[in-house]
Chains A and B, each alone.
Chain A
């Protein structure tokens, strides 16, 4: 109920906000563009996963010291800890990094961001990355249109960065009116109360301005004009350090679980550092004074002293939090639980049965049959046929007549969750038992079940390929093409039903190789389909592109049917175990079926 009403409620709320405030519209558009940038960035980094970037990242972040150094250097170059943290989140979401390494980078980024204070204080330099947003977008999108994978990936990364900056720009624009109303002088206050309040103001102002650098400039300006006291300026810097995490939090909204965990760890780190700095602000001031004297910084040069302070409290944060890195990882992992992905687990392959030889073979057989049953369901879904059609006695044409709506199931997801995991478990079990005690006939039996499983998987893959055009045909008004795809669906459904028939007939069925007859039918039918394509082009007027697609799909259909028959022959043909080899040795293969059809053709011609 809550889920159903949540989205419409958010939409209504946003729509109301848009009508009331133009600034709100700009801010939310900024957030949307920013999040789109994150998606694009993630897409780009995915292209590079398992490639050079992953190798570089792994090599440069395989321990905490390295990942921290990486964070320091990256932030010093980019001059934005927010950007480094959102990029780290997208690395995590793309599976390029581990959470502990990500947190290490964040620790480093906090220190790296203090170089900004040194640059601003020392040289009055401000790197404005948002000016690069437009060219980045243009170059990025041009690269996205390239066919080379690496260029496309680079394009997504570049466009992603461009969108990030653009999003930040809009957020800033939107918040501008709020920013202008911030008059720091009116809050001047001394003592701890002043420190806490100014830290809060610093955090809020950084959220508003979306830049700790901009905040730093504001602090320095206020300090130079003596609008605020030195003590309040330090508190603002502490608050700014906490406020800057909001960008990472926004960035983690569409990220993976690990991305969200990183954003929380970032917040925890900065809040802890902030609390420590507030608590020991007067001691820190003494330390800053001492360090400044050693560095030759004049006692009245507050800007450089602020840079010293900024570096010092972040360094203290790192020193305090570094030993707590593992507990922090555990804490965020507990706080944000991984999304449960329902993966099909084996039922029969229990650890105990592997030790008992006959039980092991039986367990593999039962699990393989389970794999087949699950695959049959995925296949019927893929063909947009109701699952009960397999067991019903309705004629095939009636079933197809009823099955005109596309079954909206994510076949790739079903394949990954239900079949791949189960097949992997079967393969692992077979390998384990083969490595141990399985020999001779038992080894062959186990192998044949593994191969049957492979055929089942291939059959599903065939349907996955077929589904795209099949779904299109079901949604199209072109009855000729739809009829052709119905024929393919009909053949696969027939194969599934015939296998089901053999399965239920079981022991005592008169036929020695009951499914070999199906092989002949598959070959004859798919040949007819292929030969009929010429007529379809000439008489029914279907275009050559559709015909080519059909040609490929006939081939997928044929492979799927063969795979199902091969799997069914192993899993459901009940026979005396002593005769199994002999029976399999006379089973007909594709060439022999081809030869049979060719012989028939010649006989008819004569």
Chain B
């Protein structure tokens, strides 16, 4: 198992396509993480404010972030799948 993992890593390093795929995967993961942090921050802001207008605005932003995350997670899954098939 360990050898298989090492081989995969070697393939990642040697193949330019696989390298690019890996970069894509990593940066998408990073962006999704930032989105999650943004979402948490907004949820905190939402519970802290009483201003209806502000509440509406935050809710709209939260809705959009959820949709973006949903799209991102789907893409991440596809990338994972691609990488698995390429092995």
Contacts and interface: CB of A to CB of B under 8 A. Distances in A.
Contacts of A592: 67, 71
B67 A596 contact: yes
Interface in B54-80: 60-61, 63-64, 67-69, 71-72, 75
Contacts of B23: 578
A581 B24 contact: yes
Contacts of A289: none
B7 interface: no
A512 B41 contact: no
B44 to A, nearest CB: 12
Interface string B27-55: 11011001100100100000000000000
Contacts of B24: 581-582
Q: Which of B38, B63, B67 has the most CB of A within 10 A?
A: B67
A512 B31 contact: yes
Contact of B64 (A581, A583, A585, A588): A588
Contacts of B61: 511, 517
A267 to B, nearest CB: 70
Nearest to B35: A512
Contacts of B35: 512, 586
B6 to A, nearest CB: 26
A431 interface: no
A579 B72 CA distance: 13
Interface in A551-606: 578-579, 581-583, 585-588, 592, 596, 600
B27 A586 contact: no
Contacts of B75: 585-586
A525 B85 CA distance: 44
B27 A588 contact: no
B20 to A, nearest CB: 10
A126 B84 CA distance: 94
Nearest to A579: B27
Contacts, number: 57
Given A517-B60, A586-B68, A588-B71, A579 B38 contact: no
Contact of A512 (B34, B60, B71): B34
Contact of B41 (A510, A516, A581, A596): A510
A355 interface: no
Contact of B30 (A516, A521, A579, A596): A579
Contact of A588 (B30, B31, B38, B68): B68
A516 B35 CA distance: 13
Interface string A87-111: 0000000000000000000000000
Nearest to A589: B71
A517 B27 contact: no
Contacts of A579: 27, 30-31
A588 B72 CA distance: 10
Contact of B67 (A510, A578, A581, A588): A588
Interface in A253-287: none
Contacts of B71: 586, 588, 592
B60 A582 contact: no
Given A521-B60, A592-B67, A510 B38 contact: yes
Contact of A596 (B38, B63, B69): B63
A194 B60 CA distance: 95
B75 to A, nearest CB: 6
Nearest to B57: A517
A586 B33 CA distance: 13
Contacts of B28: 582, 585-586
Nearest to A575: B31
A592 B63 CA distance: 12
B38 to A, nearest CB: 6
A516 B70 CA distance: 14
B53 to A, nearest CB: 12
B30 A582 contact: yes
Contacts of B72: 582, 585-586
A513 interface: yes
A581 B60 contact: no
Contacts of A315: none
The 3 closest A-B pairs by CB, nearest first: A582-B27, A586-B72, A582-B28
16 contacts: A510-B38, A512-B34, A516-B64, A517-B64, A520-B60, A520-B64, A521-B60, A581-B24, A581-B27, A585-B72, A586-B28, A586-B31, A586-B68, A586-B69, A588-B71, A600-B63
Interface of B: 23-24, 27-28, 30-31, 34-35, 38, 41, 60-61, 63-64, 67-69, 71-72, 75
